[in-house]
Every structure is written in structure tokens, then in C-alpha cells.
Structure 1
Amino acid sequence: MPLLTTRVDCILLGAVRPFGPKGVPSGMDKRPVGSAVRVTALGLAGDEQGDPRHHGGPEKAVHHYAFDHYPAWRQELAAHSTQAAEVLARPGAFGENVSSAGLTEADVCIGDRFRLGRALVEVSQARQPCWKLNHRFGHAGMARAVQQSLRTGWYYRVLEEGELIPGDNLVLVERPCPDWSLRRLLHVLYVDRLDTGALAAMAALPALAESWRKLARQRLERREVEDMERRLAGG
């Protein structure tokens, strides 16, 4: 197992506020905190989600996004949106709870267990970008761009609750699925989307969130890819 340790540079929490042109409730606009935060089975204490059907819950308790990706996004979005430059000026652009450098989807595997401050967390799934990113960045194709880039971020489930302080370490303590990096998972989901062998293996991953395993089973049964347009473009 590789020795992976990185520093939690920023912890971010968000209150539910009206979001986008229709004012839908959302906690995407998260702000950094400078003090200790409790990591619970349902997320960080004080963090809120406007759509509990699709956000938050035990399988999406904590959202981590690599600050390493920000320079590429600034460059790629420069011609599309001045709003994007403002959003990308600091951590939190993607609604993440945890921001760090030195750890990306290529380095993290499904089922990885990390000591996050004094909490113990497990990688449960990658993020499936939705239309709210389009409004957040002022770019109608942002959710699609995040999906195609495979720079999506990821979620943790919480195995042991505990305290997290900005500057704490994130330390890998167990890796049960070394063949299943998030990069590979996202490639199966969004690039080679009907690779039956990979889908069968994905459906059998015990550490993967059940919703993702179900998606893999449905593709195998139907031999077709589900419609993603509503998620990416909105209703």
C-alpha cells in the first residue's frame, strides 16, 4: 500500500441559500472555517444541503476536491466566463468540504480509508456533476466539462466520527481495492461506457456506493447508457 499523506488546507461549510435564476435551495456556496469541525456520519457539523435527495447523506457525507485542478480550470474557462475566474480565486468553487493539494482522482481508490483529522473516512464514490455547476461558473457547459475531464472530486462515508481542524493531515490507512482508482471508475462511467467486463467488476465492488453499483448493473442488463442530460443541463 502506498504511503499517502496530505494536508487539509481548507475546511468549507455552506448554509442553504437561494441559488441560480430560479432561486432553488442550495448549500453549494461554501465558505472556509478556521476552527475545529465535527465530522459526523451525515457530514460536517454546520454544513447544509438544499436537495437531500441528491446531496449529502451517509454515502456523500464529505466532499473532497483537489485544489491541484484549479489552474487547469482557470486556463480552460478563461474564454468562457469572467464569473469562473472569480469563483476559482479560492477553494470552494465546486462546493467541496475539503480542499487539499497533492491528491487527485488518479491517486485515490474506491474503498480507501483515510484518517481525516481524528475521524476515519472511506471513499464511497466519485462525484457526478450536475447542472448547478453551470450557474455557479456562469458557463452552460461546465457540468459537462467536469464530467469529460474526469476531474470530478469524490465523496467519503464516515466510519468513525471525530474532530477535524484546518491543517490536519489526511492519511491513508487501508487500501482494499488498489485496482480501482477513481480515475479508472470515471473512465468506465463516462468514457468506455459499455465495457461489460469493467461494469461487472464495478457492480461487484463492495466499497462502492450502492447507487453506482446499481447503475453498472442496469447498463449490463439493458446494454445501453442511461440518459444524463437532465443531470447535466437541468430540467
Structure 2
Amino acid sequence: MVQNRAIIVKHLGLIDYKESLAIQETYYKTMVDQKHGRATVDQFSQSAASGYLLFCEHPPVYTLGRRGSMNHLLVDEATLAIQDITLYHVNRGGDITYHGPGQLVVYPIIDLEKFFTDIHRYLRLLEASVIEMLAHFNIPSTRLPGLTGVWLKANKNSKPFDRKICSIGIRVSRWITMHGLALNVNNELAPFDQIVPCGIPKAVTSMQQELNKFISIMDVSDILAQIFLKKLNCV
């Protein structure tokens, strides 16, 4: 029997983090029901999908993964209240990170059993998709040994530090993925100064900062979706 590998792509726009988490959980439950034969029809495609690829932006928010340390938040919660930045403790991997307008957040909710059952392979696929997308914009990027995410290596001519441009934190349960990646496109970088991003004391950058121009998030979303789905063998 041929597996249905259809992935439904949705653009949620600027959405509160808590609301996006509720949407993820709803789709996750749908995927679980499909695996156990309790649901066979999807309201969008009229057939059981293998997953959903959600693109969005968030109002200013810090999220702390289940193994993260509050010591990596460098300001108190009273300061966050003044700045109108929310703090959420979430059930993904990784430490603390920041989301804000102008940053592209991608949440794949995918049944990996229809593709491959290897979490490390899935993480590398996410990284490789971002690296290929950034190359489309002439931004050379890479992985760093032992660190999850996508990085720009130090350039001795102009950039003295390795810079992180994309954070990744996922949860996989019953081989269904949740959470995902956050790519700095046009967002402000100052809020990262108030945390130790992902628990790693390294610099952070964005596509806008590297190219010195505004980048269309929709263009980035479209290119990244095409690359990710191709690597997942959906197109």
C-alpha cells in the first residue's frame, strides 16, 4: 500500500504564541487519530494528510524548552512586563529563544512513520532546508559541530564572530513532530541580548542584517516550503 505523503501548507500570519500552540496541538491530535484509525478525512484536503506545515510570526515572546534554564533569562519578569514580552515554558527540546515580528517561525506537524523514523535525520533535514534557502539569497551558512541550528561562520575580513541565524527546537511523540524552527529574517535582534540564546553564548544575526536590506517573509516562506517538501520527498 502506497503511503499518502500529502503535506498541507498554511500561513497563519502574525499570531499569538499560545494560539499557535493550540493549533499545533489540534493538528497533532488529528494526526494521532489518523494513526489509530479514528479519523480518515481532513477538513481541508478531504483526505487523510501526512502532515501540516505552518508558517507564522509571533508578537514578542520568549519560550523556554523543557530542559532549559531560567538562568539563561538575563532580566526579571517585571522587566518583561514593562517591555510587553511574554514568557512561556514549552514542551519542546532546546533552551530559551526569542520570537518576534519579522522572524519566520515554521511548525511542521508530520507523521515521520510515513517518511523515516530517525529524529536526528529530521533535525538535519530542517537545517539543510534552511541552509539551501539561505544560499538562494546568497547567504552562506552551515552547521556547527555538536550544535543544533543554522549558523554563519566568522569572516576574518568583516565578521569576527560565528552568528546564529536559525534556532531549532522540536518535540516528537508517537513519531509525530511538533514545534520546529525560527529563522531571523527582519526581526529586531536587541531582545536576544536579554537571554543566552538556546543556552549558547554566541552572537545572533538576521537575513536583513547580513544583506543590509528588507527581505520578504512570504518569499522566504515559499522558497523554504518548496525545499523542505522536496527533501521530505513530498514533491
Q: TM-score range by the shorter chain?
A: under 0.3
Instruction: Give the alignment's TM-score, normalised by structure 1.
Output: 0.23
Instruction: Give the alignment's TM-score, normalised by structure 2.
Output: 0.23
